[in-house]
């Protein structure tokens, strides 16, 4: 369990699945997702992958709650391994219920996930994928210290996703503390 100023980040468990599905199935929460809202079968598979990642690596995507309401999951996010083309990278990702947008939670989560990746996992770089039209998420990544690194053709017949990256070095560390 990790505490930030406003959030509590925990390892997901099966009790969190309904919130995972509801958040990922909501069209508003998927405005920039080329796949659209998640279907139930896909949610089961994705959630099982989150649980498996935790079991295999002892870290991964967290269930996120507000400190002021710790019984209600408001989103999921953190870092996990993800394939970028044919390369396995440490990936930062998040999705919050639309009712909790605009509160600074995504930036707070992203900064904590980066600190965790660099300080606890001793990783040298963290990546994030974002759709070019998702300006709010791009701002979150930039405020968290990531910089535009590249593009990736990860969705057939769509514009390339933007690849952001942050490296673990003393100059950039000043942005995180």
What's the CA gap between 84 and 100, in Å, rounded?
A: 29
Q: Domain count of the chain?
A: 1
Give the DSSP letter of residue 116.
I
Across the beta sheet with 7-10, the strand order is 2-3, 7-10, 61-66, 69-84, 87-96, 125-130, 161-167, 147-152
pLDDT (tens digit, 9 = 90+) per residue, 30-43?
888 888 899 999 99
Counted residue by residue, the chain has a size of 177
pLDDT in tens, the chain (177 residues): 999 999 999 999 999 999 999 999 999 988 888 888 999 999 999 999 999 999 999 999 999 999 999 999 999 999 999 988 888 999 999 999 999 999 999 999 999 999 999 999 999 999 999 999 999 999 999 999 999 999 888 777 778 889 999 999 755 555 555
Q: Write down the pLDDT at residue 170.
A: 58
Rounded to the nearest 5 percent, the helix, strand and coil shares of the chain are: 40, 30, 30
Enumerate the H helices of the chain as residue ranges: 17-25, 40-57, 105-115, 135-143, 170-176
Q: Look up the CATH number of the domain holding residue 105.
A: 3.40.630.30
Distance CA 17, CA 76 (A): 11
Say what the pLDDT of residue 73 is: 98
CB contact at 8 A, 128 and 113: no
Does pTM surpass 0.75?
Answer: yes
Report the distance separating Cα 104 and Cα 140, nearest Å.
Answer: 8
Residue with tokens 């505490």: 3
Could you give the dihedral angle defined by the CA atoms of residues 11, 61, 32 and 40, in that order, rounded to the nearest 10 degrees? -60
The whole domain housing 122 covers: 2-176
């Amino acid at each position: 369990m990790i505490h930030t100023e406003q959030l509590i980040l925990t390892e997901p468990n099966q009790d969190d699945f309904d919130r995972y599905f509801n958040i990922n199935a909501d069209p508003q929460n998927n405005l920039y997702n080329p796949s659209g809202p998640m279907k139930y079968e896909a949610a089961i598979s994705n959630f099982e992958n989150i649980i498996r990642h935790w079991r295999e690596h002892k870290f991964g995507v967290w269930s996120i709650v507000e400190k002021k309401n710790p019984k209600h999951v408001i989103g999921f996010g953190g870092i996990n391994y993800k394939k970028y083309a044919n390369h396995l990278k440490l990936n930062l990702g998040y999705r919050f219920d639309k009712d909790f947008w605009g509160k600074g939670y995504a930036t707070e989560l992203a900064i904590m996930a980066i600190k965790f990746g660099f300080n606890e996992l001793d990783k040298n770089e963290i990546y994030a994928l974002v759709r070019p039209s998702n300006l709010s998420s791009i701002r979150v990544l930039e405020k968290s210290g990531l910089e535009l690194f590249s593009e990736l053709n990860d969705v057939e017949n769509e514009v390339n996703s933007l690849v952001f990256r942050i490296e673990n070095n003393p100059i950039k560390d000043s942005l995180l503390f």
